[in-house]
Amino acid sequence: MRKRVVITGIGGLCGLGTSAPAIWDAMRAGRSAIGPISNPALHDIKVATGCEIGELPDHGVERKQLVAMDRFSLLAVIAAREAAHHAGLTIDEASTHRIGATVGVGVCGWEVIEENYRAILLEGKSRAGIFSVPKAMPGAPAGHVSMNLGLRGPVFGVTSACSSSNHAIASAVDQIRLGRADAMLAGGTDAPMVWGILKGWEALRVLSPDTCRPFSADRQGLVLGEGAGMVVLESYDHAMARGADILAEIAGAGFSGDASDIVAPTIDGPERAMRACLADAGLNAEEIDYLNAHGTGTKANDQIETAAIKRVFGDHAYKLSVSSTKSMHAHCLGASGALELIACVMAIREGIVPPTANYREPDPECDLDITPNTARERKVRTAISNAFAFGGTNAVLAMRAV
């Protein structure tokens, strides 16, 4: 019998707020944080809508570590510290080798890359900053989380574009089930509000000029945001032994590859990932109460995801509560799945389904109950969270009440 893995702490920050409770309060209220981008370093971008963190909270990270961190690493550390504190997790000489960290990222430390390009190519400087490589590397956030909290168990980064959080969390679950760790800090982070990244997304012609309206017939595309989300995962026995407050259980995970196109999604890939997740969790489709959709607000994604949900859930698809919280915190790339996991955990805890904000017009191709604009009270015993990414890398997580 495999080990049960539970969630005992959550932490996060994004445009909605700089703590998990603040994020959840905004989600529950259906409040979107999407708006005009205020960063003056973004120069000549055409689509100036995004979801920024207004001001970082006091974080207590020492300057010695800060000088070697890009923004995406700092966000991960802030979220991880909150999650560890929320869980009441003791990290000392007795436990340090049995606690690790996995952090998913969609891109990398792009802030330092852009600073160096501008310094060398535009300002004529002769060398890059000394910490450029360690700041930029995709594995940096996991390393910084481990250093800041003193974690000496399994530590590594995970990158699979917009599925990175879900893959990182599932990888952490595996470390615990394989006996390599008793507890893991897991989640995702990204800070893409940088000129070079936004210009790249502009070229794809998928950015919305105003806001994110998932499943609404008048949707115009996705909106990028920044943020991080982290959870504390523990074996059930470890959590019980120390008297931890268990928030929810990771029931299962499912993965698939589209093996089709680098950017265009398929129905088959997401369908197989959801089916694999249900099978891994030992759940029937009829047992799922809430589905946090990938829900990017693009024409293709929302119609394809709706079709995949109908294939997997059949008639029960119309009894599910579905929502896309990206309508409120935008698409935070590698952080999205972790922020959406917070939504799922709190839906289970409080019996409230967060809404899909900004919804205006029904789309006959997206005809599920997408909880438009206003949160709904509903007993949520089980929830699944979808993450589908460029490259056709799909990852779905299932959670249940304990």
pLDDT of residue 42: 78
Domain that holds residue 105: 5-241
> Residue 59's pLDDT is what?
92
N- to C-terminal Cα separation, the chain = 18
Residue 316, burial from CB neighbour count under 10 angstroms (0-12, 13-18, 19+): middle
What does the DSSP 8-state code read for residue 58? P
The answer to whether residue 248 is domain-embedded is no
Q: Is the pLDDT of residue 46 over 90?
A: no
Q: Taking residues 47-72, report their average pLDDT.
A: 94
Query: How do residues 79-96 score in pLDDT, each as one tens digit?
Result: 999 999 999 999 999 999
In the predicted model, what is the mean pLDDT of residues 346-355?
98
Helix (H) or strand (E) holding 147: helix 140-149
Boundary-marking domain end, from 241, 272, 307: 241
The domain boundary, picked from 207, 241, 275, lies at 241
Is the predicted pLDDT of residue 41 greater than 80, yes or no?
no
212 and 265 belong to one structural domain = no
DSSP bridge partners of 156? 102
Same domain for 274 and 169: no
Q: Are residues 14 and 70 in the same domain?
A: yes
- Of 18-32, 50-64, 69-83, the range with the lowest mean pLDDT is 50-64
Residue 260 above 80 pLDDT? yes
The CATH number of whichever domain residue 337 belongs to comes to 3.40.47.10
Provide the pLDDT for residue 193. Answer: 94
| 278 shares a domain with 180 | no
The answer to whether position 392 is within a domain reads yes
223 and 306 in a single domain? The answer is no
Are both 68 and 142 inside the same structural domain?
Answer: yes
pLDDT band at 43 (very low <50, low <70, confident <90, very high): confident
User: Is there a single domain that holds both residue 189 and residue 133?
Assistant: yes
Residues contacting residue 222 through CB under 8 Å, at least 6 positions apart: 206, 207, 208, 212, 296, 297, 298, 326, 330, 331
Catalytically annotated residues: 162, 294, 331
Show the 3-state SS of the chain: CCCCEEEEEEEEEECCECCHHHHHHHHHHCCCCCEECCCHHHCCCCCCEEECCCCCCCCCCCHHHHCCCCHHHHHHHHHHHHHHHHHCCCCCCCCHHHEEEEEEECCCCHHHHHHHHHHHHHCCCCCCCCCHHHHHCCCHHHHHHHHHHCCCCCEEEECECECHHHHHHHHHHHHHHCCCCCEEEEEEEECCCCHHHHHHHHHHCCECCCCCCCCCCCCCCECEECEEEEEEEEEHHHHHHCCCCCCEEEEEEEEEECCCCCCCCCCHHHHHHHHHHHHHHCCCHHHCCEEECCCCCCHHHHHHHHHHHHHHHHHHHHCCEEECCHHHHCECHHHHHHHHHHHHHHHHHHCEECCECCCCCCCCCCCCCCCECCCEECCCCEEEEEEEECCCEEEEEEEECC
Which tens digits make up the pLDDT trace of 4-37?
Answer: 999 999 999 999 999 999 999 999 999 999 999 9
Same domain, 276 and 235: no
The token pair at 222 is 């996705």
Average pLDDT of the segment spanning 212-225: 98
Q: Is residue 47 situated within a structural domain? A: yes
When pLDDT is averaged across residues 116-144 and rounded to a whole number, the result is 95
Q: What's residue 52's pLDDT?
A: 96
Mark whether 312 and 385 lie in a shared domain: yes
Does 85 reside within a domain? yes
Residue 322: helix, strand or coil by DSSP? strand
Tokens at residue 177, please? 């089930």
**Do 84 and 30 share a domain, yes or no?**
yes
Structure confidence by residue, pLDDT tens digits, 150-207? 999 999 999 999 999 999 999 999 999 999 999 999 999 999 999 999 999 999 999 9
- Residue 159 confidence (pLDDT): 98
| pLDDT band at 342; cut points 50, 70, 90 | very high
pLDDT for 182: 98
**pLDDT given for residue 244 in this prediction:** 98
**Residue-averaged pLDDT of the chain:** 97
Q: In sequence order, what E strands does 203-300 have?
A: 227-235, 248-257, 290-292
206 and 334 belong to one structural domain? no
**Neighbour tally for 159: CB within 10 Å:** 20
Asked if residue 336 is part of any domain, the answer here is yes
Residue 246 lies in a domain: no
Picking from 221, 241, 261, the residue at the C-terminal end of a domain is: 241
Q: Do 237 and 259 share a domain, yes or no? A: no
Residue 40 has pLDDT above 80, yes or no: no
Q: Is residue 194 included in any domain, yes or no?
A: yes
Count how many domains the chain has.
Answer: 2
Whether residue 247 lies inside any domain: the answer is no
Helices assigned H by DSSP within 183-267? 195-204, 236-241
Q: What is the pLDDT of residue 152?
A: 98
